[in-house]
Chains A and B, each alone.
Chain A
Amino acid sequence: MRIGDKLENLNPQVFAEADQRKENPSDWDDAVRDPFDGREVFDLIRSIRDPEHPLTLEQLNVVSEEQCEVDDAGNHVKVLFTPTIPHCSMASLIGLSVRLKLLHTLPCRFKVDVVITPGSHASEAAINKQLADKERVAAAFENPDLLSVVNKCIAPRPLAASVG
C-alpha cells in the first residue's frame, strides 16, 4: 500500500489513548458482582485496528467510552462509532469489525446495536440499516475474503507501528 495510492484520509488526526481502567478493591472480591458498563464494552473494542492505517479505532477516535452504552439489566448494548471522514468507504467494514468482536466477546444475552454517530457519515442511514440486518451481517461473515479482512482488524496482535 502506498501513500496517496489507496488511502482516503492520508494524515488522520491521532488522539490520546485512555488510561487503563482504574481498579476497585471490590474487583478482587469474588462475592461482589461487577456489572457490565460502557467502559468494559469500550475496552473490548478499543484495540480493533483500522483497516487502512496502522492505528487503533481508539487512536482515531472512531470509538470512545462515552459512545458505548450498556443496559446490563435490560440486556442491551449500543455502540456508536464515528468515521474519520464523512465519505469514509471503510465505515461499514469498521462497523462489521465492531459487531463481530462484540459477538465473540459479549454474553449472548445482550442485544447489540452498532450504529454510526448521527451526522458523521454521508451514507449513515444505509450503513446503519446494513449493520442492523442480521441476515446481511451473517452473510458477510460467510464470505471468507471479507472475514479475513475483518479478522485482521480484530486479531489480538501487537500494534503494527507505534505512535510516539
Chain B
Amino acid sequence: MAPASFLLQRLKSLPESSEDVDSLVRDIAPGVCGREVTLQEVVEALGPSLTHERPREREVGTQFLAGVLGELPPAYLNPAEASFMTAFLVDRLRDHHTVQPAVFLSCLALVKQEKLRDAEVQSLVEGIFREVQVQSHTVSDRRTVYSFLKYCLCNRASALKELGLSLLPGLVAAIEGESDPRNLLVVFSLVTALIQSGLTLQPFVEELFEVVAAYFPIEFVPPRGDPYAIQVEDLVLGLRRVLASTPLFAPYCLPLLQEKLDSDLTSAKLDSLHTLVACCEVYGAEDVHPHTRPLWGSLRREVMDGANKDVEEAALSALTAVVHVLEVGLTTAASRAAAATLIEAAVAECECHLRAPEQRLMWPSTRLLVALVVAAPGPAATITSKVVPQLASQCLKSDGTALAHQNTLSSLAMVLEAATKHPHLLLEDGHLSQLAGPVWEAFHHGLSSDEGPQVQTATLASLPPVFPALPSSHLQQAAQELTALLLDPSSSPSLREGIKKCLVRLGQQKPEVILKHALPPLLETLRTGTNPSSGESEVQVLESLASLACSKAVLAPVLTEMWKCAQTLLTDGPLECFHCYLSTIAKMVKSSLKDNESQQFLLEEWRGTQQILTMIIRLIQHSHPPHTPALLCLATILRSLIASESTPQALVQHLVTLAVHGTEEDSGGADTLLLPDSTPEMKRLLTTPLDYTDPSGSNMLYALEAVVSGAQNLSEELTCVLQLLRKVRVFGASTGDAELREVAVLLHAAAINKLQQDSQLSQAEEEAQADVEADLDPAQPKEKRLAALLVTTWTCKALVVRGSNLQQWWTKKLLNLLEDPELGVATARSFETVVKEHPYALSPACHARTRLLHRQRFFEGVVRPLVDTFSTSKGSLKTCCQVALCSLMPHLPQPILAPHVDKVLPVVLQGVTKNEGQVVVESVVETLASLLQHSPAPATQHLSFLLPALLSLTTNQPMAVRTKALECLDALATLPTTSLLPYRDDVLQGLKAALDDHKRVVRHAAASTRTVWIMVGAPGGS
C-alpha cells in the first residue's frame, strides 16, 4: 500500500487531477479503516476540493467522502468524529443543489454509524427537510433520500420520535409527487415502516393518507426492456400494504374504495375489492360500521350484475370480510346493529329471488347468502333459520319444474355447506341439527323423485357436502336408500356413479354407517349372485364395493368375500368373470396400500403375496393357454404388494434362484417356504427353471417380473442376477409370444435399473451390450432384430432413469440404428419409450432408482445430434430423425422444451408439407399442435411458410391430420394481432373449405378456428 502521506497528497490535488473517485476511494478506504489515516486528516486534505469555487469540484470531494464513509465499519466513528461529520454534512446540505446528492449519500453512510447520537440523527433529518426540495432531484438521488429516511425509521425511530410534529409534514413534503415506479416501491415501504414504527401520526393522518392514496388504483404498464422488471403487481401490493396498515386510515380509505368500486373500470373495481379485504383484516368494527350501508349497496350490485366472474368473486369475499369484522372480535352495539341491518336487507332481497329458482337472480342471491353465512356464526344462524326451511319446503312442492327442483336443492346444499364451517352450529343441540329433519326430507324426496334422472343426479351431487349437517339417524337412512338405489337395476350408469361418490364420502365421514347399512346388502348380492341377465350389475356391485373399501374395517370383509368368489370362479366360472373380480381386487389393493392399517392387513393378516402367488400358479395350471389379462392383473397386485413389503428380500432371492437353478442348487427348500400348502404339481411349476420352450413354465415369468419390479433393491448377495439377466435376454429374443417378450424386456430393465452401482452393474451392462450387438446384426432375421431393439430401448431407459453414465453407449446405439434401413422407423419411434412414463415399469412407486431430471438429461443429449443429422442427411434417415424428435416432444414438459423450440421448430415445420410421407405428417402435426398451444411465440417468424402449409393440410388428409392442423391454426391465432393481420384474410378464405368437410368433428374444429381468426383485429375482438 502507498504511504499515507502520498495518498493525502493525491487528495489535496484532487480538484485539478482527472482521478477517478471510485479508484481513489478503493485506495484510501483501507488506510482509513486501518486507522493509518484519520477521518479528520482526510477531510482536511479534501479542503481544496470541498472549498473549491466550482460546485462540480465540491461535488467530487463530497462524493469521495461519501465513498469513504460507506466503506467504514459500523462501529468506526467515535462520538466526537460522528458529531463533527454531522455538523459538516448539515452545513453541506446548504450548498449548491448539484452537491446535495453526494451529501445524501454521505448522510446515508453516516447514519449507519452506531455511535451517532439521536440528536445528530435529528439534525440530519431536519437538515434534509429544511434545505432539500426532494422532488427537484433525479430519480436515483430521490431514492437515496428515501432510503436514508427509511433507515432512520426502521433503526432510529426513538430519535425521530423527538422530532415531534415536524416529522410528518417534512416526510409528506419529501415524498409528495413521486412518480418513478422503482422509487414508489421504496416510498410505500417507507410509509409502512413509518406506521409500524409506532410514531404518532396525529394530526397529520389525512395528509399522509392523501399523499399515498393519490396513486390508488395503480395503473402501470411496465416499459419494454425495463432492467428492474417492476411489475404492476409489486406496486399494487405495496400500496395495498400501506392502505391496510393502520385503522387510522379507515375514515378516508373506505370512502375512497367505495368511490372506485362504483367506477366503470374493472381493474379499479378488482383492486378496490381486494384492498377492502386486506383492510378488513386490520380495521376494527368501529371503523367499518359507518360505511356498511353504502358498501353493501355496491357489493350486492356487483354480485347481482354478474358481469364479470372475477369481480363477482372478489365482491363476495369482500362482503364476507366486512361482515366478519362487524361480527367477530371487538364489536360494539352499533357495529352489531349495522351487521344485523345488512343481514336483514340481504335476506329480505334474496328470499324472494330464491322463490323463483328458475330465474337468473336465484344464483347471485344464493352466493350472497353463502358469503354472509361463511362470515360469522351469528349471520349463519340467522340466515339458515330463515332460508333453509323455506328452501326445504320448496323442494317438497310438486308444482315446480324439474329444473326448479334441481336448482333449489343445489342452493340448499350450498347454504348448508357454508354453515357447516362453524362447528358449534353442528353440535347435537346446535342450530343445524334442529333443521336436519326438513333438510333430510328434502333430499329424501329428491332421491326418490320421479321427475326424471336430472333431479336425482342433482340430489346426489348436492348431498355429500350436507352430510356433516345431518345426524346419524338420517345418515343411516341415507346409506340404506343409496344402496337400494345402487342395486336397483333400473338406475342409469351415471346415477350409479353419483351414488358411489356419495357413499364414498359418507364412508370417509362415518365408516360405521357404511359398515352396518351399505355393506351387508351389497355383500349379500355378491354371495347370492345378481340377476343372471344383467352381468353389468355385478360389475357395478364389485366396483361399488371396491370404491367403498377405503378403510381396513370395510376392506377386510369385502376382500375376503371377493377373493372367495374369485377362487370359486377360477375352477367353476368363466375366466372373463374371474378377470373382472381380479381387476376389482387390483383397484382395491392399489388404493388400500396408501392407508397404513389396510396395508398391514393386506400384507400380514391376509398374507397377500402368498395368496397371489398361489393364485398365479393355479391359474397357469388350470388353463391352457392361460388367460393373459388375468395373469397381468395378478402380476399388478403382486407388484404393488411386494413394493409395500418392508423386507421382501427373502422372497425375491428364492424366486430368482428357482428361476435360474430350479431346486437342485442352493434353494434350501424355498418352495415349501414360499407356499406352505402347495400341491406337488404346483411345486413342480415353481421349481422349474425359466425356459421359453416350456409352455406353462414360461408363464411364471409374469410372477418373476412382478417380484423383481416391485423389490426395493436387488441386494449384492443375490449372486445369480447376472445369470437371470442372460436367461431373460435369451427368453426375450427367442419366444414367439409378444406379451411374454415384453414382460421379459421389462424384467430385464427393472433388474438393470436396480443393480448396485458397482462391478456387477458394469458386468451386466457389458454382457447385454455383447448380446444385443450379436442380435442386431443385419444378417439376423428381422423378428430377432426387433426383439433386440426392444431390449436396447428398455436397457437404455433403465440406465437413463437411474442417471448412469453407462447409458451413453445405448443412446449412441439408438442414434446409429436410425440409419438402419430395416429398423430405422421402429428405432425412431422407440425414442418415445425412453421418455414416456410407463404405468408401472421403472416408476418411483416400484422403487426404481430414479435420478431427478433424467428426461431432460436424455433429451439434451439427443436433441443436437438429431437436429444435426436431420440437416445434413437425406432420404429415410432425415425422416427418421424427424419422427424421433416428434415422438420425444409430447412427453417432455414445456420448460424442458422451451430452450430448444427455436432449434426444433424448423425440423418440425419441414414435416408439415404434403410431400413428406404420411407417417411424418401425422406425427409432426400432432407434435406441432401441442408445441404451439404451449409456446406459439417462436412460430411468429415462420408464419409465411407455416400458415399456407397448415391450410393445405385441412383438406384431402386423414381426419386426425385435418383436425390437428386446425388446432395448430387455432393456437397460432393467439399470437400478437400485428403479426397475424397480414395473413388474416388468406386464412379465413382457406378455412372455408374445411367448414364443408364431410366429418362433423373437422367442421366443428374449423368453425371454432375460423371464429377465432375472424376476431383477430376486428372491432370488439382481440
Contacts and interface: CB of A to CB of B under 8 A. Distances in A.
Specify whether A and B are partners.
yes
Interface of A: 1-3, 10-16, 27-28, 30, 33-34, 40, 43-44, 53-55, 101, 104-109, 144-145, 147-152, 154-156, 159-164
Contacts of A53: 360
A1 B307 contact: yes
A80 B403 CA distance: 24
B271 interface: no
Given A34-B999, A55-B360, A105 B306 contact: no
B874 interface: no
Interface in B293-309: 301, 304-309
Contacts of A44: 1007
Contacts of B306: 54, 160-161
A14 B1001 contact: no
Contacts of A159: 309
A28 B998 CA distance: 11
Nearest to B993: A107
Nearest to A37: B1000
Contacts of B304: 3
Contact of A164 (B407, B992, B998, B1001): B407
Contacts of A155: 1011, 1015, 1020-1021
A152 B1020 CA distance: 5
Contacts of A108: 992
A27 B999 contact: yes
B741 interface: no
A163 B996 contact: no
A54 B307 contact: yes
Contacts of B1008: 156
Contacts of B1001: 27-28
Nearest to A161: B306
B1019 A105 contact: no
Contacts of B1003: 34, 40
Given A11-B353, A105-B1010, A40 B1000 contact: yes
A34 to B, nearest CB: 4
Contacts of A150: 1020
A156 B305 contact: no
Contacts of A145: 1019
A49 to B, nearest CB: 11
8 contacts: A14-B359, A33-B998, A54-B308, A107-B992, A144-B1019, A151-B1019, A155-B1020, A160-B307
Contact of B359 (A1, A11, A54, A105): A11
Contacts of B1020: 147-152, 155
Nearest to B1007: A105
Contacts of B996: 107, 109
A62 to B, nearest CB: 13
A145 B1018 CA distance: 11
Minimum-distance CB pairs A-B, first 10: A151-B1020, A148-B1020, A161-B306, A107-B996, A148-B1019, A105-B1007, A34-B1000, A33-B998, A30-B959, A11-B361
B630 to A, nearest CB: 28
A149 B992 CA distance: 24
B994 to A, nearest CB: 9
A44 B995 CA distance: 12
A147 B308 CA distance: 22
Interface in B31-59: none
Contact of A104 (B309, B407, B1011): B1011
B884 to A, nearest CB: 27
A13 B363 CA distance: 11
B1021 A3 contact: no
A164 B359 contact: no
A13 B959 contact: no
B1018 A147 contact: yes
A111 B889 CA distance: 45
A109 B997 CA distance: 12
Nearest to A149: B1020
A160 B309 contact: yes
Interface in B542-597: none
A34 B996 CA distance: 10
A109 B995 CA distance: 10
Given A13-B360, A14-B359, A104-B1007, 19 more contacts: A2-B305, A3-B305, A11-B359, A16-B454, A28-B959, A30-B959, A34-B999, A104-B1010, A107-B995, A147-B1019, A148-B1019, A149-B1020, A155-B1015, A155-B1020, A160-B309, A161-B309, A161-B364, A163-B360, A163-B363
A104 B360 contact: no
Nearest to A110: B996
B384 interface: no
A164 B308 contact: no
Given A1-B307, A2-B301, A144-B1019, A12 B998 contact: no
Interface string B384-426: 0000000000000000000100110010000000000000000
B775 interface: no
Contacts of A12: 359-360
A54 B364 CA distance: 12
